[in-house]
Amino acid sequence: MSDAILPGSGFDTYESQDKVLVSMDGTVDAGVVVRILQQQGFAVAGAVVQLAAAQAEWAAAARKAAEALGIECITLKAEALADQPAEVLGEGNDAGFAALLTAADKLGIQYIATGSHARVELGADGVHTVHPAVDAAQDESAQLAALPQETLARLLLPLGEFTAEDVQEMARDFKVEGIV
């Protein structure tokens, strides 16, 4: 599969569904995220954020896992973003989120998702906040707390609602254990 984004490559074929670009890393968690979002009715595409040339082999494995899940996947070669200051990336964003958001915007995709274990909630005041994952042992909310409102409003974190055991059970049920 080519890394190029071409018109008609599948990213623009969903008319009535919300679209989501999932950060793919070749893990079972990423596979479960894809299946949860598909069950929720999202049109899912994958993106591998490659921040260094040395990650080429890992990126190829993550793309292969996405292919096994039946979704299209692009590689975002974001080496140039890896050492950029916050004002270039967008305040609070890291290189991975900056690359995902830029790709989503170019593809006309509203949402991004990761396998991070945390939750994003919208308060009555219209402010998005990061909350700890249901499973305290898996919680990654501290790493996401600095993300700006614009990112949090577009970020889906399906795994934050589940324990590690729940995720492993879903992996078996979704039959993603052997493909990622």
CA distance 132 to 145: 10
pLDDT band with cut points at 50, 70 and 90 for residue 15 = very low
Confidence at residue 98, expressed as pLDDT on a 0 to 100 scale: 87
Give per-residue pLDDT as tens, 36-77: 999 999 999 999 998 888 888 989 989 999 999 999 999 998
Confidence at residue 5, expressed as pLDDT on a 0 to 100 scale: 37
pLDDT band with cut points at 50, 70 and 90 for residue 178 = low
| pLDDT-wise least confident of 53-62, 82-91, 110-119, 124-133 | 82-91
Confidence at residue 30, expressed as pLDDT on a 0 to 100 scale: 95
Report the chain's mean pLDDT, rounded to a whole number.
85
Question: For the whole model, what pTM was predicted?
Answer: 0.84
Give per-residue pLDDT as tens, 86-110: 555 555 557 888 889 999 999 999 9
